Structure 1
Amino acid sequence: MQPAPLQRHSFSHFEMSEERGFLPVPDPLASCSLCPELEWLGGQLPKLLAARQLRNTIHTMQDLLPGRKDNWTVDTYRYANRILSFAAHGYIWENPDHPLNRLPANLAVAWSEVSRRLGRPPVLSYASYALDNWRRLDPSRSIELDNIVLLQNFLGGLDEEWFVAIHVDIEAKAGPAMAAILRAQEAAERDHADKVTKELMTLASTMESMCSTLDRMPERCDPYMYYHRVRPFIHGWKNNPALPNGLVYEGVEEYREEPQYFRGETGAQSSIIPALDAALGITHAEDPLTVYLAEMRHYMPPAHRAFLERLEHQQDHAGRPLLSGYIMDHKSNKPDLWQAYHECVQLLARFRATHLDYAATYIHQQSEKQSTNPTSVGTGGTPFMEYLKKHLEETKPIGQ
C-alpha cells in the first residue's frame, strides 16, 4: 500500500514551513524566565570557556532545571537543550588537549531528560547548533546573513558566528525548495508536465541561492580559525581517538554508569541534502558514508526524520520514485522538463563539490597538531574525503 501523498499543508505536521523549511516557527527563544540557571550559564559560557573556568563553575551549580515543567512548550525544551548541549561540550572540551570522559550528574541528568523529550540523544546535534540557535536583528526582515546572529556561542568571534550563520541562511533558503518538490510531485501524479517543469525551475532557482550562500563561507570564516577555535568543541565521543572509551553520564539511571558513544555535530544531520537526493532520484551505492548518513537520521528532530522517510517512499504505480520516474518517462518528448531536472542535479553536484572543497581546505589540509582534533576524520567520526568524492560522482541524472 502506497503512503498518502505528501502535501504542502502537511508541513506543520513535520515541524516545517514553506517559508523557512526546517527552521522552527516561531523563531527560537532568545531567553526564558522559566530557566534562570540555564539563562545565566548560557550568557556566561563564552567567558568561562575563555578563562577555562567552565568546569569549575558547573561543579558549583545545583539544579540546572526547575522541578516542575508543566508549562514548558517544545520551544522551552529546545531552548534548554541548546544551552545544555553547549555547556556539556564546553565542559568536556574546555581543554582540548585533555578532554574529560565523565559528565557530572547535575549536567548529565538535566541534559538527558531534555534531549529525551525532544527525541534526540544527549549530544550537541545540528538542530541545537544551527536550527535552534539564531535570532533576527530586525524581526520585521527575513532570515538572511545580514540579519541573523547566534543565540549561543562557545568562544564566540567572527569565524564561529559566520560558520553557523551560513548554515542557517541555507536552511531558510531551502524552505521554498521543499515546497517546490512537493508541488512537482503533485503535478507529476496528475500528469501535468508543464507544472512539473515550472516547479523544477523554481527548485533550481532556490538551489542556486543556496549554492551562492555556501560560496560565501570563506568571506568571514578563516580555515585556520575554524580548525583551531570552532571545530574542537563540536566533536563527539564515538570513533573519536581522544575519547576511545566514550562518555559516562553520571547519575543517568538508564545508562547505569556505562559509557555512551554518540557522534559529534555535523552538517550531515541537516535534512536538506537527503531530501534533494530523494526528490531527484539520486542514489548512492552502499559504503561507510551511506551507513553513517543513515545513522545521522537518529540525531535529527524526529519530525524531520519522518518527513524524509515519507519523501523517500513517494512512488508511482511502477514502484519508482514519483518525481524522477515521471521525468524519466518524459525525457524524450518533454525536453524542457528534462533540462529543468538536469539543472537541479547539476546544482546539487555543485553544492557537493563546494562542500568537498571546504572539507579539504578547512580540515584535511590543516596541520594536525592535536590528536584530539584529527584532520583525517570529520566531527562525526568518519574518514570523509574518499566517500564525499564518491557521492559527488554519484550525483548525476537518472539513467546516466
Structure 2
Amino acid sequence: MGTKVKNTQTSLSLKEFHISEDCGFILPEPLTDLPVYYKPWMDIARNAPELISSHSLRLRIHDMPLLETHLLRTHRELRLAHLALSIMTSGYVWQEGERETVKVLPRNLSVPFCEVSQRLGLPPILIHADTVLANWKKRDPDGPFSMDNLELLLTLPGGESVRGFFLVTLLVELAAIPGLKSIPDVINGIHDNDVAVVTKALDVVGQAIDSMKQALKLMHEYVDPSIFYGIMRIYLSGWKDNPSMSEGLVYEGVQEKPMEFSGGSAAQSSILHCFDELLGVQHEGSSGAFLTRMRDYMPPSHKQFIEYISSHLSLRSFVLQQADEHLTHTFEQCVSRLVDFRNYHITIVTRYITIPASRAKQLRANQQCLAEELDMIRKAPTALEERGTGGSGIMTFLKTVRDKTKDTTITQCTNGNQVLPDVNKAASELTID
C-alpha cells in the first residue's frame, strides 16, 4: 500500500471528494429524464426488458439516430445518459445470450457512450455507479429510503428480482454512510493524536459494517436465486476475462481494436475499499490486482478518496503505538465485523451463484425439469459458472479477501473470551430450500 506520509491538513472533509453527507457515494437526487433531444435514448432504455424479450432491441438501436453529447451539461445529466447508454449496450450485447454475442457495438451507440464516459472518467460499460448509485428515485420525495418507497429509473430483464438486487445494494450503501462519515474523524484524530476521537469514530465504522450486513440480508427476501442466476446475471457481465467475449468488443467509430471491460461487480463499490484502507487490510496477488483495477470503474473523485486514505496516517500503526486497551479492542471489533460481513457475502454468493450453477449442471445432464426452468438454464451464462460478473474466480477471490481481512487483527482475540468469528462458519451454516 506504500509508505504512509504525514497528513499536513488540519481537517479532512468528504465534500472535497464530492461525497454527500446524506447519501455517501450515492448520487443525490438523480434526474429522471434527459432533455427532449435525447428522447430516442430514453425510449429504448426505459423499454429495454420488453425489447430484449421480443428480440428487437438490436433492431431498435440500429434505427436510433446518432446524437451529439454536447447538450449534456450537468453531472446528473451525464450520469443518467451513462446509465441509459450502458443499459442499451448490455442489452445489445447479451440480447441472445452468450451463444449469439456480437463483436461490434454500432457507431450510433458506441460514439456517444464513449464521449459521455470520457467526460465522467468512467468506462463505457454497465457498472455499479450506474445500476445502484445513479438508478433510484423515491415514490414519496419526503419519505424514507426503504424498499417500499424506492424505485429504479431503468431496469433489465428479471422483473422484481432486478429491482430487489439493485435497491438492496443501494440500502447497503446507505447503511455504510455513518461509517464513511467517521473516516475523516479517524484521520483527523490520528493527526491530532487524540485517542478518544479515533476510538469513538472507529466504533461508528464497526456499527456501520454491522448495519450493512443487516441490509444485505434483505437480498433473500427480494431476489429469487433462479432468476438472478438464469436471467439477470448475464446482463451484468462484461467483455474481459469472459470466454463468451474472448476478443472483447469493437466500439465502432471509436477505435478499430476491440476493447475489454469488466462487468458490474460489488468490488466496484467504494465503501469496502475505504474500510480496507482505513484498517490497513493488505490485498495482494491476483485478488489485490483485481480490486485495484476495479477502482478504475468508480467515479474518479471516489477513487481519489480511497487513495487519500491509503496515503495518509496508518490507523493500525497508531493503534499499536498507543497500546490503549479500549482503542485496541475497538479496532479488533471493527476488523471482526468486516470479516463477518465478508463471510456473509460468501453465503450470498453460495446461494445465488454456486448452488444454482451446480443445479444447472445437473439439470443439463438429466434434462429432468420443467420446460420453463430448462429454458432459463439454457440462457444462463455457462462461461461464468465459476466466475463473478466482474470476471474474477468468485469463491477463491472472496475467501482470499476474507482471509486477508482476518490477517489484519492485532491479536487473536479482543477482551476476555470474546473471540473473532469463525471464518468458515457462515458458509457452512447456509441452508437453501
TM-score normalised per structure 2: 0.84
Match of 2:222 in 1: 220
Match of 2:429 in 1: none
Q: Quote the Cα distance in structure 1 between the aligned partners of 2:200 and 2:20.
A: 21
Deviation at 1:156, TM superposition (A): 4.6
Query: Is the 8 Å Cα contact of residues 21 and 173 (structure 1) preserved in structure 2?
Result: no
Query: Is the 8 Å Cα contact of residues 24 and 131 (structure 1) preserved in structure 2?
Result: yes
Match of 1:75 in 2: 76
Say which SS state the counterpart of residue 265 (structure 1) adopts.
coil
Match of 2:333 in 1: 343
Query: Is the 8 Å Cα contact of residues 159 and 221 (structure 1) preserved in structure 2?
Result: yes
Deviation at 1:187, TM superposition (A): 1.6
What is the aligned counterpart of 1:298 among 293, 296, 304?
296
How many pairs are equivalent? 384
Q: Deviations over 1:38-70 (max 9, x none)?
A: 22122222211121110111111112x34642x
Match of 2:24 in 1: 21
The answer to whether the aligner puts 1:272 opposite 2:271 as a matched pair is: yes
Query: Is the 8 Å Cα contact of residues 243 and 383 (structure 2) preserved in structure 1?
Result: no
Say which SS state the counterpart of residue 243 (structure 2) adopts.
coil
What is the aligned counterpart of 1:248 among 247, 250, 260?
250
Query: Is the 8 Å Cα contact of residues 289 and 384 (structure 1) preserved in structure 2?
Result: no
Q: Quote the Cα distance in structure 1 between the aligned partners of 2:325 and 2:249.
A: 55
Identity of aligned residues (%): 32
Say which SS state the counterpart of residue 149 (structure 1) adopts.
strand
Query: Is the 8 Å Cα contact of residues 6 and 310 (structure 1) preserved in structure 2?
Result: no
Query: Is the 8 Å Cα contact of residues 335 and 409 (structure 2) preserved in structure 1?
Result: no
The answer to whether the aligner puts 1:12 opposite 2:11 as a matched pair is: no
Deviation at 1:7, TM superposition (A): 4.2
Q: Quote the Cα distance in structure 2 between the aligned partners of 1:154 and 1:371.
A: 16
Match of 1:54 in 2: 57
Letter in 1 for 2:401: H
Where in structure 1 are there 5+ consecutive unaligned residues?
316-320
Say which SS state the counterpart of residue 394 (structure 1) adopts.
helix
Letter in 2 for 1:95: E
C-alpha RMSD over aligned residues? 1.8
Match of 1:378 in 2: 388
Q: Deviations over 1:120-177 (max 9, x none)?
A: 1211111111111111122113333332221110125111111111111111222221
Q: Quote the Cα distance in structure 2 between the aligned partners of 1:381 and 1:194.
A: 42
Match of 1:162 in 2: 164
Q: Quote the Cα distance in structure 1 between the aligned partners of 2:326 and 2:10.
A: 25
Shift in CA distance, 355/281, structure 1 to aligned 2, threshold 3 Å? same
Deviation at 1:373, TM superposition (A): 4.7
Letter in 2 for 1:73: T
Query: Is the 8 Å Cα contact of residues 8 and 179 (structure 1) preserved in structure 2?
Result: no
Match of 1:45 in 2: 48
User: Where in structure 2 are the equivalents of 1:101-180 lying within 5 Å?
Assistant: 101-180=103-182
Q: Deviations over 1:174-221 (max 9, x none)?
A: 222111121122122222222222212222222211110012211111
Q: Quote the Cα distance in structure 2 between the aligned partners of 1:296 and 1:67.
A: 26
Query: Is the 8 Å Cα contact of residues 69 and 112 (structure 2) preserved in structure 1?
Result: no
Where in structure 2 are there 5+ consecutive unaligned residues?
362-377, 412-433
Deviation at 1:371, TM superposition (A): 5.1
Say which SS state the counterpart of residue 175 (structure 2) adopts.
helix
Letter in 1 for 2:294: M
